Chain A
């Protein structure tokens, strides 16, 4: 077992344990903070896969943006004064059975599929490569995403202050 495997198991444990706490915790604010650790673990897994730029974007956008947005949603839609930051649960029994069966089937498919792996190249810094792809091959997708983001933010602002 080398150091790569050790770090992988560390980040995998961090991700899965904190994700488990996210889905089982009764307090929404605690769930949001456990979600922070999940995102951090996922960013570590990205680094282990040689995707350094995506890992940094994950930290900036998810931890710095989406998580703060979710916390704002919690704070604005719950009565802080009478400690009503709980979330109820519905149909736990059927959900446990259904999700258990589904994830079992998915795990079996993943474990027994004959994946063809190409030989691993050395991981290189990806920022320049991704920038070149973004400006040449994927420039249409890039521009469309910019327009979608603009429309989404205008729509969100106009919905929220109606």
Chain B
């Protein structure tokens, strides 16, 4: 068995990305779609930090991972506010039923 290197981490992040994409495509509930987005952001972060460790770029990768975490927090707050508003107006959060612009 080969010892753990860059490829192992990239495979982990690829699989995590695929599962996030699957969640975004197949789930109806908007909160589940958000969870898929979080999975994808995490996989991107693993990539950033893995390349920062195994490449020759200093610590910029870790810093960009921190920025991604901050943006994910902002995105989650705004998205949940929008989801709450949708629920108040249409009393559903299934993304396939929310298809009218104005009633």
Contact = CB atoms under 8 A, between A and B. Distances in A.
A126 B62 contact: yes
B5 to A, nearest CB: 7
Name B's interface SS.
Answer: helix
Majority secondary structure, A binding face: helix
Nearest to A20: B19
B63 to A, nearest CB: 6
A22 B78 contact: no
Given A106-B14, A156-B78, A87 B62 contact: no
Contacts of B52: 49, 51
A129 B16 CA distance: 29
Interface residues of B, number: 71
A76 B9 contact: no
Given A22-B39, A77-B93, A160-B81, A28 B29 contact: yes
Interface string A44-84: 01101111011001100110011001101110111000000
B16 A19 contact: yes
Interface of B: 1, 3-12, 14-23, 25-32, 34-36, 38-39, 42, 45-46, 49-50, 52-56, 59-60, 62-63, 65-67, 69-78, 80-85, 87, 93-94, 96
30 contacts: A8-B8, A16-B16, A31-B35, A39-B42, A42-B16, A45-B12, A46-B49, A51-B62, A54-B45, A69-B77, A70-B38, A88-B27, A88-B29, A89-B27, A90-B26, A90-B28, A103-B15, A103-B18, A106-B17, A107-B14, A110-B7, A117-B55, A138-B63, A145-B67, A145-B70, A148-B74, A149-B70, A149-B73, A149-B74, A155-B81
